[in-house]
Amino acid sequence: MALVGSVLVLIALAIIWGARSTVERALYVSELGAVGEPTAQVFEIALLLVVAGGSAVAFASRHIRSHPRFLRVWTPTVSLWVASGFFLIASQVTCTQGCPVPYGSQFTWQDLTHILCAVVAFGAACWAMLQVSFARDQRVMALFSRVCGLAVLIIASAGGILSLIGVALAFGSWLEFVATTIAIGWLAVYGAVLAVRGIERPAEPLLARDDVEQPVG
C-alpha cells in the first residue's frame, strides 16, 4: 500500500507540472482546475491521484505514533486522511475562472469552499509531517519531515498572503507550486520509506529464531 501510494502521488506531481508547463501566464495551482481552463480535467485527475495515494500511505502508516503528548491526540494516519478528504472536495468543487480571492464583489461560495478545503488539506498535511518528525523509530524521516513541514508552512503562507493582498502574484504563484511540490514529494518519500521498512520487518522474527537454542531431545 505504501509503495502504491508513493507511486500514485509521484504521477500526480508529474501531471501537475506537465499541466503547468502548457500555460504561459503566471497562475496559482488551483487555477489549473478552474472552470473553463483547458487543464481542468487533467488537474482533477492529479488531485484524485493525490487523494488515492495519500489514503494508501495513510493506511500503511497506521502503526506510526508521535512521542510528544500534544501530537499523539490523533495519529499521522488521521491527519493524512483528513488532508485527502479535503483534497477530494477541492477536486470536485473547483474555483471559478482566475480563482479570485473570495471577498468583496468577487465573493462566490464556490471559490470560498475550494480555498477553505485547500487550506485545511495543506494544514493537515503539515501537521502529519510534524507528527512523523517526532514519531518513535522514524529517525530516517524525522529531520526530513521537520524541514519539509516548516518549508511548506512558510512558503505556502507567503504565497497565500501575496494572493490576498494582490501583490507580486507571479512570484506568489511560484511559491505555491514550490510548496505543493515539497508536500507531495514528502508524501512520496514517506511512502517509499514505509515500503522499505515493511519489506525488511518480516525478516526480523526469522533472525530472532536462529538465536534461540533448540532443546535437546
Residue range 110-138, pLDDT digits in tens = 999 999 999 999 999 999 999 999 987 76
pTM: 0.86
Rounded Cα–Cα distance for residues 159 and 115 (Å): 13
Rounded Cα–Cα distance for residues 117 and 90 (Å): 6
Give pLDDT, residue 200: 56
Give pLDDT, residue 160: 85
Cell digits of residue 192: 517509499
**Which residues sit opposite 135 in a β-bridge?**
66
- Smallest CA-to-CA distance from 173 within 156, 151, 149, 186 is with 156
Residue range 171-182, pLDDT digits in tens = 989 999 999 999
* 76, 64 contact by CB (below 8 A): yes
Residue range 22-80, pLDDT digits in tens = 988 888 899 999 988 999 999 999 999 999 999 999 999 988 888 888 888 899 999 99
Rounded Cα–Cα distance for residues 42 and 19 (Å): 7
Rounded Cα–Cα distance for residues 94 and 40 (Å): 9
